[in-house]
Structure 1
Amino acid sequence: MTPSDSIPGPVIVCGDDALAVRLAGELHDIYRQPVTLLVPDADTIGPQPPATTRVVEADTADAAALREAGVAHAAAVALVYEDDEFNIRAALAARRINPRVRLVIRLYNRKLGRYLAELLDQAAVVAGGHAGESAITVLSDADTAAPALAATVVAGTSKVLQADGLLFRAIERTPLQRREATEPVLCTLALLSSTTEDPDGTEGTDASGPAGPRLLPAPMEIAQSAQRGAVVLEAVSHTAPSPAPGRLSTARLPVMELFSRRVRWSLAGFTAAVIAIAIISKITTGDPVAHSAYITLLDLFSINDPAVDDTIERQLLQLFTGLVGLLLLPVLVAAVLEASGSFRSASTLRRPPRGTADHIVLLGLGKIGTRVLARLRELDIPVVCVEEDPEARGIPLARSLRVPVILGDATQDGILEAARIHRAHALLALTSSDTTNLEAILCARTTNPDLRVALRLYDDEFATAVHRTLRAAHPQAVTRSRSVTSLAAPAFAAAMMGRQILGAIPVERRVLLFAAIDVAGLPQLEGRTIADTLNPGQWRILALDTTDPADRRPDLRATRLDGQSHVSGLLFDLHPGHLLGPDDRVVIAATRQGLAELLSHRPQATPAH
């Protein structure tokens, strides 16, 4: 992005932890924006900011500190303090000073965030500004990191995009992988440098020609580039395995969840014994089958008259039946206790059903774990949770979604085994303790060496060291270590550039932006067909939002907190002759220059006075 492509005015980042510094770096490195960083102490909150970043030190973002940082002429302000109250106060102060400034606020409470956005928009109108669709954006690091963490265990990567409840990943393919690929991709985003196969080239050069990466190539270029690697876009999905032939599903037989295997086998044995006794009684007495079965049951429960005057065979059979009845009593008591315990669990927390397999074990139901759980269930992925605190934030959500939860310390013996870790697809450790996450991962790997694991670690250097060590010890298994602040920073940066920005993906030394934009007012799109809108190297339409305009989400990055499935309105298989109208909204991939050129032709809204 050239200076002329930047948003007007500087951007300001206010915070007190590593997220603020990472956000400043993202705005500087990816979007090439002049950044002012307002922090209590730049030397103690994490990695050092970029050298060209202006740093203002102040304990709080009050009116005086914001004025010193230049909020009066700023285009966007990010308020990412860990304390929600600090962010709300700073947002109110910033809005009073500059009614037109774009605000990106870090809040965990979504409901409060919606109310705050409405309040600040109203304040902007009263103060003589205008309340645009992207004027206020409320995010949380938990919300923004959840899609990447979910994709880490599902697809093995965090280079993902989120749009309208769907996840997409951008992956690199070598020329051999491109030739051998059988599954279709949504699109080819870029052709990589020739140095992917040619060591004599210049890796990552920005120059044009065969040596440099080609962003958003034309179909003819893709067909003629068999010797170059490519970055392709794929949908992230998870398909649960179907039950093996002949194996009954526990979902179809809920009684299987009420009783343990031992109790079920004991009851089956007693049933077989009673049937055998009834048959023997019929043979020895000659009575009808129904009468023999009735007499056997009376003897079993010891409510029949003693067979004093009957034959010796009848007397021995009655004594044996009574003995079976005595043995049946403790089994019935055990069955009643197990059933009552299962019913209590159904009203509180579920246990993992017997036969659970190919699921994800999620450790920790705090802020991050709760959001990730909702995201995984939105993708219809089976999950088993492990949480030490019965009053954790995510317990009510797990109960409402009927997700199995194991209460206990994941590092203690038997806890991971109870979560069926030996049959799990992946383990995601998201507790607030780095040592707990690491210990749980190591314990799980002893049980399942090929288990895909991802753990949350606060310190980036420690996360890198852990990742390399685990990868060296288990080269065949997927291992990922993630810092929530590093995962959240790109989403906050995209929000500062405007709500229509869905995210950015680096391609060597260049960057592709993804945006959801309205067609109305854009002469390069409105009234043109999909084929006519293609501009190789600048932008490309990926999908059309078919949702009714009245029902559209204002922010396609938003997800459902309750974890319920959302039917996306995005249509990717577009006919080249489809004509775009003024009511359409499209998702595009574009370069910095391409997006700036595309949006520069839209008429600017006139501020309300």
Structure 2
Amino acid sequence: MIPPPRRRRLRARARYLLALLKRFRLTLAMAAVFFGAVPLVFRTLYRGPGGARITFGEALHHTYFLMFGQPSLPYVGDVFLELLNFALPPFGIAVIADGVVRFAFLFFAQKNHDKEWITVISETLRSHVIVCGAGRVGYRVSAQLLELGHEVVVIEKRPDAPFIAVLQAHDVPVLIDDVKSPQALQRTNVRHAAAIVCATDDDLANLNTALDARRLNPSIRVVLRLFDDDLGARVRDAFQAEVLSSSALAAPALALAALDPRISHSFHAGDRLMVVSDFQVTEALAALTVAELQHRFRVVTLCVRHSSEPQMHPKPAHRFKRGEVATLQGMYPDYLELRAFTGERKPPVSAVGRSDLAPLRTPEPEDGDSAI
């Protein structure tokens, strides 16, 4: 789930301001010269009909109205000052017109999330992550990265992709473009990105994008989603890229779900299968402390939940209480031994609706992944 937007929006507003200052630095510099240096010139050189000098405020007043072709100081016989009086009006009007037109363009580009605005915002980012694809996988990756505090730029070909509106509502820059376009990666400031995640459902597009990203930024970390496991192995060895297959990731979860749907996560530590599962504290567990449970069943207590906030990594002396939910991690044989100890050896038909399982945090759309 994407984190609360308040802090992210403050950071986004700061990026917008920085982007505008960067894009308008020449216009602002010319305005500073016009309203800073020019009044000083008039303040220094101008002498009235009686030889009287003027103040800086009078010089600034004259410069301001001179910009619109309405000088406020009387005519004097100084050739240089008269040349300024003739040259400055078109210059001032050009500066103002340029600023107004460019600001209006960027304002509407921001409202419409145009490519130009995404380019402007991306230029302010450093060490960000580029996610290609705004389907189920791309959205989940983006949400996880945002939850971890990393800036994300998303590239999606289809303007009607299911999660684009959600990402844009949280001020995530979403570039509507074909990732195979030569300019797509450059618009996301790939040269200063820390990593790129190619998460579309097109293996060829993912591979081409990864190669283009590595060419533009040799130090970028590349993560590819490939359906072809054989191709993934070759790419991993040849290009030093992290290649993940949806089937390879899903297979262990599906296998364990078939055996025991109460297992929420699994991974391998060397050749050992580790599992994570929630246990409702019953009479058997209520007699043990965290240290006793670990010593007897070789499982680690990650979290204990009751009516209050979750207690992460409880102290070894913490004694389990009935009604608590303990999240435990251990090797699969030890997990089975603990289930037998609690009288829950036989797994249920389904874990849906159990209070000890967290609900899915990411909403599902009706459409599939992007096919960029």
State the TM-score, normalizing by the size of structure 2.
Answer: 0.78
2:67: which partner in 1?
300
Q: CA–CA distance in 1 between the matches of 2:58 and 2:102? A: 28
Shift of 1:404: 0.8
Paired letter, 1:269: M
| Corresponding position: 1:504 with 2:263 | no
For residue 334 of structure 1, the aligned residue among 101, 114, 121 is: 101
Classify the secondary structure of the residue corresponding to 1:512.
strand
Match of 2:366 in 1: none
Equivalent in the alignment of 1:540: 299
Query: Is the 8 Å Cα contact of residues 250 and 257 (structure 1) preserved in structure 2?
Result: no
Tell me the SS of whatever aligns to 1:258.
Answer: helix
- After superposition, the C-alpha distances for 1:46-102 in whole angstroms (9 at most, x for unaligned) are xxxxxxxxxxxxxxxxxxxxxxxxxxxxxxxxxxxxxxxxxxxxxxxxxxxxxxxxx
Letter in 2 for 1:432: D
CA contact (8 A) 1:348 1:399 kept: no
SS of aligned partner of 2:287: coil
- CA apart distance, 1:395: 1.0
CA distance in 1, matches of 2:173, 2:87: 43
For residues 278 and 194 of structure 2, what CA distance do their matches in structure 1 show? 33
Supply the AA of the counterpart residue of 2:339: L
Instruction: Assess if the C-alpha contact under 8 Å between 2:12 and 2:171 holds in 1.
Output: no
Q: 2:154 maps to which residue?
A: 385
- 1:265 matches 2:21: no
Q: CA deviation at 1:374?
A: 2.1
Contact 1:530 1:580 in 2 (8 A): yes
Q: 1:310: Cα distance to partner? A: 2.8
The one-letter code sitting in structure 1 at the alignment partner of 2:78 is I
Task: Give ranges in structure 2 of 5+ residues lacking alignment.
Answer: 4-10, 48-52, 349-372
Matching residue of 1:452: 221
Per the alignment, in what secondary structure is the counterpart of residue 266 of structure 1? Answer: helix
Aligned equivalent of 1:492, options 236, 240, 254: 254
Q: Tell me the alpha carbon deviations over residues 274-317 of structure 1, each in whole angstroms, 9 at most, x when there is no partner.
A: 3212112222231222222111111111133695x433254333
In the TM superposition, what whole-angstrom CA distance separates every residue of 1:26-55 from its partner, at most 9, and x where no partner exists? xxxxxxxxxxxxxxxxxxxxxxxxxxxxxx
Q: Deviations over 1:390-441 (max 9, x none)?
A: 1112211211221111221222212101111111111110112111111111
Matched residue pairs, number?
Answer: 329
Residues in 2 aligned to 1:371 and 1:579: alpha-carbon distance in whole angstroms:
36
Q: d(CA) in 2 for partners of 1:270 and 1:593?
A: 73
Q: What percent of counterpart residues are identical? A: 22
Greater fraction helix: 2
| Equivalent runs, 1:106-145 vs 2, <5 Å | none
In the alignment, structure 1 residue 255 sits paired with structure 2 residue 22: no
CA RMSD of aligned residues (A): 3.0
Deviation at 1:443, TM superposition (A): 0.8
Q: Please state if 1:461 is matched with 2:230.
A: yes
Partners of 2:86 and 2:107 in 1: CA distance: 32
* CA–CA separation in structure 1 for the residues paired with 2:269 and 2:65: 80
Q: Write the deviation string for residues 141-194 of structure 1: whole angstroms up to 9, x where unpaired.
A: xx9xxxxxxxxxxxxxxxxxxxxx9xxxxxxxxxxxxxxxxxxxxxxxxxxxxx
Q: CA deviation at 1:363?
A: 0.7
3-state DSSP of counterpart to 1:535: helix
Give the deviation of 1:323 after TM superposition: 4.0
Residues 346/418 of structure 1: CA separation in 2 closer, same or farther (3 Å cut): closer
Alignment of 1:531 onto 2:298: no
Task: Provide the residue aligned with 1:470 in structure 2.
Answer: 239
Would the aligned equivalents of 1:359 and 1:426 in 2 still touch at CA under 8 Å? yes
1:235 corresponding residue in structure 2:
none
Q: Which amino acid aligns with 1:360?
A: V
Please show how residues 363-378 of structure 1 align to structure 2 within 5 Å: 363-378=132-147
The Cα offsets for residues 552-603 of structure 1, whole Å up to 9 and x where unpaired, read as xxxxxxxxxxxxxxxx83512x322212111222222233332222222435
Structure 2 distance, partners of 1:349, 1:279, is 38
Q: Which consecutive unaligned segments of at least 5 residues does structure 1 have?
A: 1-142, 144-164, 166-248, 472-478, 550-567
